[in-house]
Amino acid sequence: MYDLDGKKILVTGASSGLGRAAAIKLSALNAKVCLIGRDETRLKETLSLMKNKNHFILPADLKNFEEYEESFKRITMEMGKLDGLVHFAGIHKILPLKAMKVDSLKEMLDVNLLAFFELVKHFTKKNNVNDAGASIVGISSVASLRGASALSGYGCSKAALDGAVRSLACEYASKNIRINSVAPGFVKTPLNDNTMKTLPQEAVDKIINAHPLGIGTPEDVANLVAFLLSSEAKWITGSTIIIDGGFSIAS
């Protein structure tokens, strides 16, 4: 098994679900993690589940773009230059077009997409990133590749993220900063449990049955993210890696 051996990694959305599982996994591989999320109490819960206690908690709302510069200053002052960034924070709204208000679409794009751009912009600044290189992972979704009713807004935010990853990977390759995205299928998380409550049971069963290997766990995704952040993945950039129990290849 590889080791992240003291790599300094920033994880957004670390207060629950996929972000929490990844933070735990990264700490198990001996990374030093900066946990970002809105809720300090839940970030502390994540921290209590992690190996080692040398991590750094930063409660922040990623929609406040004007705070990023100051936040990165605090992070690097605390941790030194960073080796990795994973953007797990996201909003998942199931909305038919006719029920979609511009504001709810904007909110989803702010967190899922624009926050990623701003994070990458600040992360890659000379004072913030390791001179030897780094790895960035955006969290996409199979909704970026496959259509479904009521997912146009969410799917668009994730497809846009994948599109950004391709060009950003070219833009930062000369600095040895790799940028990829991961597109999970349906994973059992508290956020998804809430979303599922808004759907009738038969719709939920249909989603579950569409995954030949069944639905995933947050740990499944955490393992892939940890790999992409490690030097084992040093030849992978600009890719969207699907992890979906076969959802996208099944007919």
Partner 1 sequence: MEELFLKRFAEALEKEVGVKMEDDFREYEEWDSLSLLVILSMVDDEYGVNIDANHFAGMKTVKDIFEFIIKKSA
| Residues making contact with partner 1 (CB under 8 A) | 94-96, 98-99, 101, 104, 149-150, 197-201, 203
Asked whether the beta carbons of 220 and 242 are under 8 A apart, the reply is no
**Minimum separation from the CB atom of position 90 to partner 1 (A):** 19
Which residues are annotated as catalytic? 154
The nearer residue to partner 1, 104 or 223, going by C-beta atoms, is 104
Determine the Cα–Cα distance for residues 28 and 189; give it in Å rounded to an integer: 20
Q: Is 15 helix (H, G, I), strand (E, B) or coil?
A: coil
The nearer residue to partner 1, 150 or 191, going by C-beta atoms, is 150
Determine the Cα–Cα distance for residues 96 and 4; give it in Å rounded to an integer: 42
Determine the Cα–Cα distance for residues 55 and 49; give it in Å rounded to an integer: 12
Residues, the chain, total? Answer: 251
The nearer residue to partner 1, 155 or 218, going by C-beta atoms, is 155
**Minimum separation from the CB atom of position 222 to partner 1 (A):** 29
What would the 3-class secondary structure string for 151-210 be?
CHHHHHHHHHHHHHHHHHHHHHHHHCEEEEEEEECCECCHHHHHHHHCCCHHHHHHHHHC
Please list, in sequence order, all residues whose beta carbon lies within 8 angstroms of the beta carbon of residue 87, skipping any fewer than 6 positions away: 12, 13, 115, 116, 119, 137, 138, 139
Instruction: Read off φ and ψ for residue 36, nearest 5 degrees.
Output: -115, 135
The nearer residue to partner 1, 57 or 203, going by C-beta atoms, is 203
**Minimum separation from the CB atom of position 195 to partner 1 (A):** 10
**Minimum separation from the CB atom of position 95 to partner 1 (A):** 6
The nearer residue to partner 1, 28 or 203, going by C-beta atoms, is 203
**Minimum separation from the CB atom of position 203 to partner 1 (A):** 8
DSSP category for residue 240: E
